[in-house]
Amino acid sequence: MMFCNEKKLLEVERVVKANDRDYNEKFQYADNRIHTSKYNILTFLPINLFEQFQRVANAYFLFLLILQLIPEISSLTWFTTIVPLVLVISMTAVKDATDDFFRHKSDNQVNNRQSEVLINSKLQNEKWMNVKVGDIIKLENNQFVAADLLLLSSSEPHGLCYVETAELDGETNLKVRQALPVTSELGADISSLAKFDGIVICEAPNNKLDRFSGVLSWKDSKHTLSNQKIILRGCVLRNTSWCFGMVLFAGPDTKLMQNSGKTKFKRTSIDRLMNTLVLWIFGFLVCLGIILAVGNSIWESEVGNQFRTSLFWREGEKSSLFSGFLTFWSYVIILNTLVPISLYVSVEVIRLGHSYFINWDRKMYYAAKAMPAEARTTTLNEELGQIEYIFSDKTGTLTQNIMTFKKCSINGRVYAGEVLDDLDQKKEITKKKEAVDFSGKSKSERTLHFFDHSLMESIELGDPKVHEFLRLLALCHTVMSEEDSAGQLVYQVQSPDEGALVTAARNFGFIFKSRTPETITIEELGTPVTYQLLAFLDFNNIRKRMSVIVRNPEGQIKLYSKGADTILFEKLHPSNEDLLSLTSDHLSLLGATAVEDKLQEGVIETITSLSLANIKIWILTGDKQETAINIGYACNVLTDAMDAVFVITGNTAVEVREELRKAKENLLGQNTSFSNGHAVYENKQRLELDSGAGETVTGEYALVINGHSLAHALESDVEKDLLELACVCKTVVCCRVTPLQKAQVVELVKKHRNAVTLAIGDGANDVSMIKSAHIGIGISGQEGLQAVLASDYALAQFRYLQRLLLVHGRWSYYRMCKFLCYFFYKNFAFTLVHFWFAFYCGFSAQTVYDQWFITLFNIVYTSLPVLAMGVFDQDVSEQNSMDCPQLYEPGQLNLLFNKRRFFICVAHGIYTSLILFFIPYGAFYNVAAEDGQHIADYQSFAVTVATSLVIVVSVQIALDTSYWTVVNHVFIWGSVATYFSILLAMHSDGVFGIFPRQFPFVGNARRSLSQKFVWLVVLLTAVTSVMPVVVFRFLKMHLYPSLSDQIRRWQKAQRKERPLRSRRPQTRRSSSRRSGYAFAHQEGYGELITSGKNMRAKSPAPTSGLEKMLYSNTSWIGNLCKKTTDVVSGFSHDKTVKL
């Protein structure tokens, strides 16, 4: 393997000879077998254990296990650590083994596919895994390509074949490949193919899907090879009866496998915080160990020496310092449950449950494509509840990416495809204005609706300009044509806008029929015409235009171009004025087209709701500035209510910096101005200037910047100015941006702002942006699946983003925070009892609890209730979460779990541990049982403390649970019942008789729990532990309620009123009562909390009970979630500032 790896590192070019396995084997090229699995039967155990113990937590607990095997150190038996460690490692191993089993199954399925291989002058069926480099393979229509092939010949004229590359790049449109003329002559002649002995010298294996370079040497001549001659593994042969190809790369060397590298690992902010807290806890654990070790040394020197005589110790056999050293490690073992290993497993289980909820959500299921939402990762769910910035593509993400030909301008005349009124607004179609009838054209597309009959009249009158315009649309494109089973002409298009233009030309009588490498055939008003294709210049992100040079039947050579306006002349150097003039004489502007891409359903509502959740939305698009701005206004990202829209169009770094500076000055100047004697009160945000002084910025602003200005703004000395201005704006629109610039913008915000980012897109040009953001979401649209394959979450429509964030994201964050708070509290309360007990046991590292209780506490007695809360709990319903987006803000501000909340949980746990130890200790100090017998023994004390602990933590989680399900009840009360069942079983005579050393507490549980005194101690301990929490929460709920507290109170009130409403007569229901159902309205009651956000006038007084409750909210978190409300009308100035 090492030799193979070294060989591959040295491979700079590949030499392959056709039909000669012996020649090719000396290079030791990889065979066609693929291995995506990680293990086999022999290597699973060692490799998996090695991987698991590379995790710090597992290695730490393994270290503790080794310490427990040292008798001088450990007062706990080895099973207290090995049982949970083995359980965790076993669960992880089972999961890894299951995943790898399915990888093996998938590998075997692929490796055992059949392919026809030319061996010994005969076509033989061979498994894919037996295919070798240099073999010649026959493919048939609709077959998968087995390896990376050099196309030799095909059934189509000129050696053409068509392939679908969906498995490579997600695009379902067909791509054309063409064999070399010298090899296409081989055809399907097996004898000629068997004699083919060409040698290919090409590039080494790499992951570049769009590039290939090589040379074929055959018959004393050399032929250059490009990407158009290669068919890659993963493609499917379409519309081609057969083709032959020569294997160049096989198995792991194919470009498909070279691109299957590991995705960049993303971690949530809670993960990073949890790692920090765990390190702090380890430090705290060491400090506790040192304190107790010092205490042991002091006790040994002051008190312990009095016992040495009776214990027959020799002088100096065990010094106090050495005793303290051993005690330190003993207490490290005992107190290790401050960070139990079950924490990490529980987190993964909760995240997995949240991921299934996303996958199962019927309200995010898109029936038109039978596509549900998909959580492609299980590690980022709670991050969905903390998003502050959304970076969105436009085409296909906000819009449908289904292009419709709407209007055109030919020779200065506009032909409108839609009906407009006098104000250029769309109006209803009437019988007087009917659509153009295309039914008489047998090959027309029925979905096109065009309402300007004058265009058809110009075509029928033979207007040469109109004919030439439509001829351009039918010739200048990359569309492939085919006939379906019904004989209908079907187009395979690379982009929807190109398909719209070719379809429009088809409906108006200029029908694209077919193409070969040398010709394009169209039908012009019923007459077939074939044009000789002389040159084809394809569209790309740099040229932004497409051109073809053709020779018509009359022998004229013509250049047809289509592309962005001004692009053709922009590329000419200023010194070439003569060339510009000369070219203008030969080029004539035929016309312009208008293609409409409608917004997706629910985009406006989604953006409005996300804006109310204080999420800033940035649009990053490749469209021109006017289009981007229009889309911004259409989807409510830009509004007329904004105080200003800053447009940055500088062509140099100096100009861009100056425009950014003017924008900041203008912004600050507006904020210190007054209008009609009234001050402006709106959203307050902070803009940190270079001087370091904070300036308060009021109002709503937007920033629009184009691609060439953004390139200068992203330079290191200007990016700070850009970021300062952009982050104070509500919306940023970046137009004419490249895929790389999209990723750079995301990285800029990630680098300089402590904010969680989300990127959403649908195309291959959005992949870099999706991978750069904290959360990447792929839309399964019209541009294939490449964005989905690179994403963390996949959605069918943009509108589902609202539910994903406001419901699933918010709930995941809320549940994870509650889980962590309770988990740390529970374990501090459980563990620190040992610390207090140490002061009363001579710091001897004796444990308070029975060793089996220590083993089972986290994995049996308390594991399921906290999992139920972490998976199912919710503070408000899903509908209320959607209707009140302000509930999302605590996650953005990280209020529910942070370092402060952690210390509060630790303090709560310390208080509980004090109560758990000292109340039973005080009660047992000098007491006898009801029958007069002695009860104040160590075992009875241990059972009492353990029972109090289980009841206290169970009551606490019951108080923490906001949403009760059957699962919660079963897990909480079932865990308590399980504790008593196991306790009585382990303290029974029968178990003691079988395992006397492992279960020494014989009969103690039955005796202790039969004493009323013990139950009174348990009750007093539980009440004293829980009562402060109950009082605090009661006061907070009534004096300082949060927004979610108020909504929960409203929900309870609604549930109480439902029975009363159901008994009311039907005739007494009136429309005025419906206003009380705030959540029944489309916009919900979020607008009432933030009145003035979208309204210029002051809202009327609330009328319904819920509205009054929210309107009168004065709590601190309510004010946090509530925007400043009043906006004074009459504030007027120019809304758009052009710099």
Q: Please report the beta strands in 198-337, taking only residues with DSSP state E, as ranges in sequence order.
A: 199-203, 214-218, 221-225, 230-231, 236-238, 242-249
Contacts of 785 (CB under 8 A, 6+ apart): 166, 170, 778
CA distance 1135 to 641: 8
Alpha helices in 925-965, H assignment, sequence order: 938-960
Neighbouring C-alpha atoms within 13 Å toward the C-beta of 118:
26
Residues 482/443, Cβ–Cβ less than 8 Å: no
**Nearest CA to 795 among 606, 597, 623, 604?**
606
Contacts of 830 (CB under 8 A, 6+ apart): 337, 857, 858, 913, 949, 953
Task: Tell me if residue 22 falls in helix, strand or coil.
Answer: helix
CA distance 948 to 618: 54
Residue 946 pairs with which residues in a beta bridge? none
Question: Euclidean distance between the first and final Cα of the chain, in Å?
Answer: 62
CA distance 176 to 163: 6
**Nearest CA to 958 among 1009, 1005, 1026?**
1026
Given the structure tokens 């290695």, which residue do they identify? 59
How far lies 330's CA from each of 60, 298, 549, 943, in Å? 15, 16, 85, 22
> Encoding tokens for residue 463?
């207007």
Neighbouring C-alpha atoms within 13 Å toward the C-beta of 909:
22
Catalytic option among 148, 169, 393, 597: 393
Helix (H) or strand (E) holding 769, with range, is: helix 767-772
Query: Counting every residue, how long is the chain?
Result: 1139
List, as own/partner pairs, every contact residues 457-466 make where C-beta atoms lie below 8 angstroms and the sequence separation is at least 24, other chains included.
Answer: 458/410, 458/415, 459/508, 459/509, 459/525, 463/410, 463/411, 465/410, 465/411, 465/590, 465/591, 466/410, 466/411
Residues 239/162, Cβ–Cβ less than 8 Å: yes
How far lies 577's CA from each of 156, 458, 582, 818, 915, in Å? 46, 36, 8, 71, 91
Query: At 318, phi and psi to the nearest 5?
Result: -140, 105
Angle ∠(884,889,892) on CA atoms, nearest 5: 150
DSSP tag of 281 = H
List, as own/partner pairs, every contact residues 658-666 make where C-beta atoms lie below 8 angstroms and the sequence separation is at least 24, other chains included.
Answer: 659/709, 659/1139, 660/713, 660/718, 660/721, 660/722, 660/725, 661/721, 662/1139, 663/703, 663/725, 663/1137, 663/1139, 664/689, 664/721, 664/724, 664/725, 666/1137
Query: At 200, phi and psi to the nearest 5?
Result: -105, 125
Angle ∠(394,398,402) on CA atoms, nearest 5: 90
How far lies 559's CA from each of 57, 529, 586, in Å? 68, 17, 9
**Nearest CA to 180 among 204, 165, 196, 164?**
196
As a dihedral over the C-alpha atoms of residue 767, residue 770, residue 773, residue 777, rounded to 10 degrees, the angle is: -170
CA distance 345 to 864: 12
Told to judge if 623 belongs to the known catalytic residues of this protein, a careful annotator would answer no
Q: Which residues are catalytic?
A: 393
